[in-house]
Amino acid sequence: MGIDYIYPEFEVIRNESRCVTCQVCQRQCANEVHRYDPDLGRMLSDETKCVGCHRCVSLCPTHALKIVKNDCAFRENANWQTGAIKEIYKQASSGGVLLSSMGSPAPLSVYWDKLLLNASQVTNPSIDPLREPMETRVYLGKKPGLVDRDDKGNLTYALEPQLELSMPVMFSAMSYGSISYNAHKSLAMAAQKLGIFYNTGEGGLHEDFYCYGGNTIVQVASGRFGVYKDYLDAGAAVEIKMGQGAKPGIGGHLPGAKIVGDVSRTRMIPEGSDAISPAPHHDIYSIEDLRQLVYSLKEATEYKKPVIVKVAAVHNIAAIASGVARSGADIIAIDGFRGGTGAAPTRIRDNVGIPIELALAAVDQRLREEGIRSQVSLVVGGSIRSASDVVKAVALGADACYIATGALLALGCHLCRTCHTGRCNWGIATQRPDLVKRLNPEVGCQRLVNLLTAWNHEIKELMGGMGINSIEALRGNRLMLRGVGLTETELRILGVAHAGE
């Protein structure tokens, strides 16, 4: 008969000659790996509980700790790799659906890394962003298709509502409940400082954060948690969540154990009760139905706010986006399959959806062909990791990018991928007050501001190199991209030539 024991993934290596038994590691590890043994007068570790989050490593004052990948391995097998074997054991003992956090660690294609940017040489001048004005400001929303004049011949500016971003990056949806109060506060403050937007996710808006409303996108998902008039009014835009890149076709489920205190208040549901967002909106079965939800939100907010529809990148994304563009949505957000999550069934996360790069290229192309590209703005997410990813996304046709994992990394996340346990040692994916307070929102905000300020400089430098001084002029400018090591089909879908061509 099988035995449930799975050899620990990590090994805790303590340099005894450095360890001063200060017990910091014991206090810092919410997974209770470290323990001081008074009889032995030294620290002991229970490695079975370690998730490799490096909290103890980062705080050990004498640098006595090291967490290394365990080399106790199953017999090598290219087909039955360690992960596959362990997953079978876990399911054989529990009968459970495997649940994971964060974006897929599987070696999925990253097309950003196979796209290269252009630069000016000789025949056209590059621009020095340190001396010349460079514009990274973008406006998201419907753009007029025609130039309209009144009877006196003056231009009329009856613009639909727009979101003004100082740079083409926003923080994407993470609900209060999946992440902590301090994480939300850091994001909200940083969005305000940076002149961009953060997104409430589907867990409602904490009363303390209404003051950041001008930089907040409020989300409406199938569970409609915390959605009411004041909430809709508080945000600068309303986002309808139809899907998420990490789990297309799957709803959300925040277990009752995490619905405590303020989280319950903000979601407007009783403590301890599961928060279930069903996979579909049960009132949406067609683009017509989606249009109804879009317009009910526009009516409720008196047409003052753009409505975003967020969908996961799936096989027919171009046709879907075309439908969404006709539903009255002002902005379409597309989330690629490498996107993160607070918890998703492993099989869904690692096997469903398509890469954001291909989805973006296909959607931008389709909307242009149909002559409706200017009716919507496109925002893409699902693992945007750097300023160059942003620039490549814009060149492929995006108006702006959504980042989440990158923002959490700036707040201290070490990508241990155990957010679903609720014991995040970095105070991010947890509601335990002792852990939440490890994240100082002032410091968190500053780190986010640092990150995006740096990105904005890099974006300008990359643009300047290409001789482009306005991000608007880069949008959909695929001549600025070349592919390396891509097949004909990939190049055709991306709409870019191969390097050297």
Please give the residue ranges that form the binding site for another protein (CB under 8 A): 87, 90-91, 94-100, 222-224, 227-229, 232, 253, 255-256, 268-270, 272-274, 276, 278, 282-283, 292, 295-296, 299-303, 345-346, 418, 420-421
For another protein, the closer of residues 108 and 276 by Cβ is 276
334 binds, among ligand SF4, another protein, none (CB under 5 to 8 A by kind): none
- Tell how strand 252-254 and strand 275-277 pair up: antiparallel
How far is the C-alpha of 241 from the C-alpha of 230, rounded, in Å? 19
For another protein, the closer of residues 81 and 94 by Cβ is 94
For another protein, the closer of residues 252 and 465 by Cβ is 252
Q: Minimum distance between the CB of residue 173 and ligand SF4, rounded to whole angstroms?
A: 15
Closest CA to 377 of 248, 221, 217, 497: 217
480 binds, among another protein, ligand SF4, none (CB under 5 to 8 A by kind): none
346 binds, among ligand SF4, another protein, none (CB under 5 to 8 A by kind): another protein
DSSP 493: H
Q: Minimum distance between the CB of residue 276 and another protein, rounded to whole angstroms?
A: 6
For ligand SF4, the closer of residues 59 and 499 by Cβ is 59
Q: Minimum distance between the CB of residue 56 and ligand SF4, rounded to whole angstroms?
A: 3
Contact 232, 308 (CB under 8 A): no
For ligand SF4, the closer of residues 126 and 421 by Cβ is 421
97 binds, among ligand SF4, another protein, none (CB under 5 to 8 A by kind): another protein
How far is the C-alpha of 333 from the C-alpha of 401, rounded, in Å? 9
283 binds, among ligand SF4, another protein, none (CB under 5 to 8 A by kind): another protein
182 binds, among another protein, ligand SF4, none (CB under 5 to 8 A by kind): none
377 binds, among ligand SF4, another protein, none (CB under 5 to 8 A by kind): none
Q: Minimum distance between the CB of residue 183 and ligand SF4, rounded to whole angstroms?
A: 8
Binding residues for ligand SF4 (CB under 6 A)? 12, 28-29, 31, 33, 50-56, 67, 101-102, 408, 413-419, 424-426, 428-429
Contact 137, 471 (CB under 8 A): yes
Contact 167, 137 (CB under 8 A): yes
Q: Minimum distance between the CB of residue 263 and ligand SF4, rounded to whole angstroms?
A: 16
For ligand SF4, the closer of residues 428 and 468 by Cβ is 428
Q: Minimum distance between the CB of residue 306 and ligand SF4, rounded to whole angstroms?
A: 29
Find tokens 């926003």 and name the residue: 170
φ/ψ of residue 487, rounded to 5? -75, 165
Q: Minimum distance between the CB of residue 426 and ligand SF4, rounded to whole angstroms?
A: 4
How far is the C-alpha of 362 from the C-alpha of 360, rounded, in Å? 5
- H or E segment to which residue 363 belongs: helix 356-369
Q: Is 436 helix (H, G, I), strand (E, B) or coil?
A: helix
Closest CA to 452 of 249, 77, 191: 191
For another protein, the closer of residues 269 and 361 by Cβ is 269
The tally of CA atoms less than 13 A away on the side-chain side of residue 424 is 35
Closest CA to 90 of 6, 9, 7, 11: 6
Question: For residue 333, which amino acid is it?
Answer: A
Contact 100, 250 (CB under 8 A): no
99 binds, among another protein, ligand SF4, none (CB under 5 to 8 A by kind): another protein
For ligand SF4, the closer of residues 48 and 77 by Cβ is 48
Which residues lie across from 497 on neighbouring strands?
Answer: 482
CB under 8 Å to 158, separation ≥6 — which residues?
144, 148
428 binds, among another protein, ligand SF4, none (CB under 5 to 8 A by kind): ligand SF4
Q: Minimum distance between the CB of residue 24 and another protein, rounded to whole angstroms?
A: 27
Hey, CA dihedral for 48, 49, 53, 56, is it positive or negative?
negative
φ/ψ of residue 143, rounded to 5? -110, 145
Q: Minimum distance between the CB of residue 69 and ligand SF4, rounded to whole angstroms?
A: 12
For another protein, the closer of residues 94 and 351 by Cβ is 94
- H or E segment to which residue 314 belongs: none
